[in-house]
């Protein structure tokens, strides 16, 4: 009895997954894509795609694991904060220090302390357009001013 149509490609997918894992293992061992392709009976381009796909899969797992760990740490910090908060509010200096350290750690985990990137070129373009100036000329002039500025 033949397999149903929706199950017919399971063997092909399994062999593709196995090939991708084997290609990745061979690449970790220092093999070239051409050598990997020869070993696996595929082109070097397919060997490269297999390695990249496996790397992407592993990176996705790592990102998911890191996010799970970040959430767990944040929950732990929330529990600690709830435990010391009453004492801190009542004036306990040590508890207040603990609260501040917990809040600082939460901020770091959430990326709240990361420096903000400012796109100054875009701001110059917007300001120039609002003033009826040519945005490209305004950016070029600002760049020239910065190049001429002496470091302090």
Q: What is the DSSP string of 31-84?
A: --HHHHHHHHTS-HHHHHHHHHHHHHHHHHHHHHHHHHHHHHHHHHHHHHHHHH
pLDDT the model gives residue 13: 56
pLDDT grade, residue 50 (50/70/90)? very high
Mean pLDDT, residues 120-142: 91
Distance between CA atoms of residues 26 and 40, nearest Å: 10
The predicted-structure confidence for 66-104, as pLDDT tens digits, reads as follows 999 999 999 999 999 999 999 999 999 999 999 999 999
pLDDT at 152: 60
CA distance 24 to 93: 55
Position 7 pLDDT exceeds 50 = no
pLDDT at 115: 78
């Amino acid at each position: 009895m033949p397999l149903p149509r929706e199950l017919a490609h399971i063997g092909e997918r399994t062999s593709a997954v196995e090939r991708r894992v084997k290609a990745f293992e061979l690449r970790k061992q220092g093999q070239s894509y051409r050598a990997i392709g020869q070993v696996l009976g595929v082109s070097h381009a397919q060997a490269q795609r297999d390695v990249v796909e496996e790397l992407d899969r592993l990176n996705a797992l790592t990102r998911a694991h890191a996010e799970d760990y970040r959430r767990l740490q944040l929950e732990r910090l929330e529990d600690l904060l709830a435990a010391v908060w009453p004492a801190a509010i009542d004036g306990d200096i040590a508890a207040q220090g603990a609260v501040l350290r917990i809040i600082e750690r939460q901020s770091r985990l959430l990326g709240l302390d990361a420096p903000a990137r400012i796109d100054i070129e875009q701001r110059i373009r917007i300001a120039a357009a609002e003033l009826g100036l040519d945005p490209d000329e305004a950016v070029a002039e600002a760049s020239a001013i910065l190049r001429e500025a002496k470091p302090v």
